[in-house]
A and B are shown apart, each in its own frame.
Chain A
Amino acid sequence: QQQVKQSPQSLIVQKGGISIINCAYENTAFDYFPWYQQFPGKGPALLIAIRPDVSEKKEGRFTISFNKSAKQFSLHIMDSQPGDSATYFCAASIITSGTYKYIFGTGTRLKVLA
């Protein structure tokens, strides 16, 4: 099963709060899990990524938590800012025919209130 399920569909957070977006997958062949940030009219921009041999990765205000046994991973945005308002996509990478294909989640539209 090559789906990645993402929730919630939309999220409203107060400035300074924590934004949490969750993703789940079924296929244990996935071996890389990036998060992308997309502003309206722009392409997805790589935000942070994790490999399944690591349980947590932090870069600035962004943290990925990874639970291999539960096949779930989440993005935490600490001290959320209005500039973080965007759509966030989780993805999972799988190697097929020698190249890595990304399977994207359905996206979470985040709005951070000033």
Chain B
Amino acid sequence: EPEVTQTPSHQVTQMGQEVILRCVPISNHLYFYWYRQILGQKVEFLVSFYNNEISEKSEIFDDQFSVERPDGSNFTLKIRSTKLEDSAMYFCASSEAGRGSYEQYFGPGTRLTVT
């Protein structure tokens, strides 16, 4: 069964450093998302991406964040200068194109720890 994959599974970085989280969405999906889950809290929407551009972003997704689809398979989230409060699980999700294809499939997540 196709699945969303994410690398790395755990990333430790120092405050102020740049990190890139990588995702490989399901191959025939065209809509991509990043969500964040701070430990013990709910999953929060960060950004949606379609046709090589951001469709929507939340208030959390400030200028320190960016997304990119550098090739036909990868989808990345970059945090330019990490803060302690960026420590969280980051989930990538993807869904099929077209109205009615509501289901979003989530990857296993990347645990980001900022020290």
Q: Mark B34-56, 1 if CB is under 8 A from A, else 0.
A: 01000001111100111000011
The tally of CB-CB contacts under 8 A between chains A and B is 68
User: Interface range on chain A: under 10, 10 to 19, 20 to 34, or 35 or more?
Assistant: 20 to 34
Mostly, the B contact residues are strand
A42-B108, A99-B50, A101-B48 known; A106 vs B42 contact (CB < 8 Å) = yes
Closest partner residue, chain B, to A44 (CB atom): B106
The answer to whether B42 and A102 touch across the interface, beta carbons within 8 angstroms, is no
Interface centre among A43, A96, A98 (most CB of B within 10 A): A43
List residues of chain A with CB under 8 Å of any chain B CB.
31-32, 34, 36, 41-46, 49, 89, 91, 93, 96-107
List residues of chain B with CB under 8 Å of any chain A CB.
4, 6, 31, 33, 35, 41-45, 48-50, 55-56, 91, 95, 102-109
Instruction: Kindly list 18 other residue pairs between chains A and B, CB separation below 8 angstroms, not including A42-B108, A43-B91.
Output: A43-B6, A43-B108, A43-B109, A44-B43, A44-B106, A46-B103, A96-B48, A98-B55, A99-B48, A99-B49, A99-B50, A100-B104, A101-B45, A101-B56, A102-B33, A102-B35, A102-B43, A107-B42
